[in-house]
Structure 1
Amino acid sequence: MWRSLLKNTLSYNHLKCSKDSHPSNAVFSVSHLGLPQNIRSVFLASERYAMEYPLLRPVPPPSSARCLSSLRSLRKFILISIVSCMAVVTLTTMAILLVLSFQVSSPLNPSYDNRVTIPLPNIETGNRNQSDIRRHSTLKNSSFLASSNKTLFSSSISCYNKCWPYTAFRFQSECQNGVCHCQGKGYDPTSCLPIYKNCSIRRNSSNAVAYWHQKIQETFGCHSYKEANSERNSQVYVISTMNEWKAHQPIRLNVTEAMTRQFQPITLVLASYYPAHWFIQIQSGIHLSSILQISTVHFNSGRIFLNGKEVSKQKSLLTKQRSLVGYGDDRYSGHTIQLLQTVDRLAGSITSFSGSQRANFWTLDIS
């Protein structure tokens, strides 16, 4: 069909360029009528050679172009290989460091995280419930907690070649015989815990018990055997917790006196990284002279309730201060020494310090 169209479209004349009248010397031309729309191109040739023309035959690229394409593919392969190797090495290194950090920061006993769940004591305001007080005193002085201090919470931190938990410069730590030793100013050489004046922080040496959702938490504390603060004629009790992940958390604090004695007025220091809402219940017969609330950020937004009544606006009783805080163990960005310095400057010598990394309920025995 298309041949008939071509015959109607093409015209040719035998132009005699030479005396030889061979058909191969014929000259063809395309008429002005044009080609049909479905025909894109026409190869002008003799019919006997028409089948020898390859239709749409791809032209191979020159050798230089093929070499350039091969080089580009090779370069891409090398770059992908290098990036993949670096990613594998980085992930492997991070995994090894994470495992080592977990091993050296956890105590030797594998049952460290098996906290003991004990129902919280319920001490009503103004009512000296002797059963609850005796229960708290028994819990605090029980053989279970005494054994827990030795087995669940070790005073030293194990290490291997390097003391990873205390790598900060302020500790000046080194690993000796598989145990971390700190030579930094203000830290105990063997336990790496803070020391400030007569307050030497020890694990689970607190006269307060910390709970997190009814589970007993590890505490850090110190005691002073001075009967009263000679400058301000009051005893200073510090309760500190970090609770870094959320602001304005409610924290309950029950202050009890298991054995009735004639004590001077007490000063409560409530410290937390974020400002918290403290709900304090004080047993009748205990005279609270002042409250010092300390937090690192937004220190002025925390609220305090004493025996069900808010005391935030009673300036004579409450003082708020912004300061760095710590809960007794400074390996996780804590600043216990700075906190103790602030308390010593504003409230006087510290009678008791109790700290925990996280807690939403405290019981403090001032006996």
Structure 2
Amino acid sequence: MADVKKVVLAYSGGLDTSVILKWLQDTYNCEVVTFTADLGQGEEVEPARAKAKALGVKEIYIEDLREEFVRDFVFPMFRANTIYEGEYLLGTSIARPLIAKRLIEIANETGADAISHGATGKGNDQVRFELGAYALKPGVKVIAPWREWDLLSREKLMDYAETHGIPIERHGKKKSPYSMDANLLHISYEGGVLEDTWTEHEEDMWKWTTSPEKAPDTPTYIELTYRKGDIVAIDGKEMTPAQVLTELNRIGGINGIGRLDIVENRYVGMKSRGCYETPGGTIMLKAHRAIESITLDREVAHLKDELMPRYAKLIYTGYWWSPEREMLQQMIDASQEYVNGVVRLKLYKGNVIVVGRKSDDSLFDANIATFEEDGGAYNQADAAGFIKLNALRMRIAANKGRKLF
């Protein structure tokens, strides 16, 4: 402990990280630098400055990272149509490498020799933060208080805060029964009644989306313009990456889109039930697959689909900064060269329905695909030899009397 002189703390200003801040000062007798990121979580981040100052922090970083988050992390992930275990759009996972990156950059700027985070020893986030940190600064020290202290309940944290004069209200508005994490891509819910996998989630839990039952009876139509695999405009209006996701969250939320209730396999070994709201991301995934359906070569599209689960697992388990993820990203990005055009969607009561797609780079040829006369564009007689050659190995095996199983 004595060799830690300065530590950069990922600081939200809430109970946990405020206690961590004081605990670091007392336990390690070190200077603490705080870093608070605005990733679009929908809460004010500036109050964290006053709280950090009250605890004697001299170097305070509060940064709006929404554009960088969507441009350099969310958009690259969606170019791969990334989902984990068939459902999860990785809203929490994809934010962690950016936070790790800034923690290390600030450590370098301030001469800190350690970083610290508030992730628990049961979750995935400790792995994500620390794998990223070690990849970017191999010799950095990482302090994870939840793996060291005995303050393992909210009441103990509150008692510690009162004892040490940390300005945290014990009484006030009712605390949510859920553990929540939010950024511009999603908001997650864990704990409370969700720990019983048979109990239905409560309707008043949801923050961003209207229930599909109460969504408008009239569908909403939108058009998304793609350039090299990324959305650059909505209904013809050019937008930045963060503006795109913000607007899709708004439209999707109104139409009851993006709710998810799953049990996932955490990297640390346990199963965990979580509920997620990802309205904009749900729209993005459906639309991106639609524009790729007319612009990607068949085998390229299939290869991407084969590699996607591996890519998703790398993000989920914290390997964003690994060489294998970077290698996959280069391949994915190369595939997006001709993923340009417009997708038209109908949003209705929780559903995202593709109703049109067009592109100057489309590989769809109506003259060939038509069920009408094609003017000789396709010789149907060619299919006979194609089928016989592809059946050859099965015909040989059948002639030998081999069983299929």
TM-score (norm 1): 0.22
Tell me which protein shows more strand as a share of its residues: 1
Q: Which has the higher helix share?
A: 2
Compute the TM-score of the two structures, normalised by the length of structure 2.
Answer: 0.20
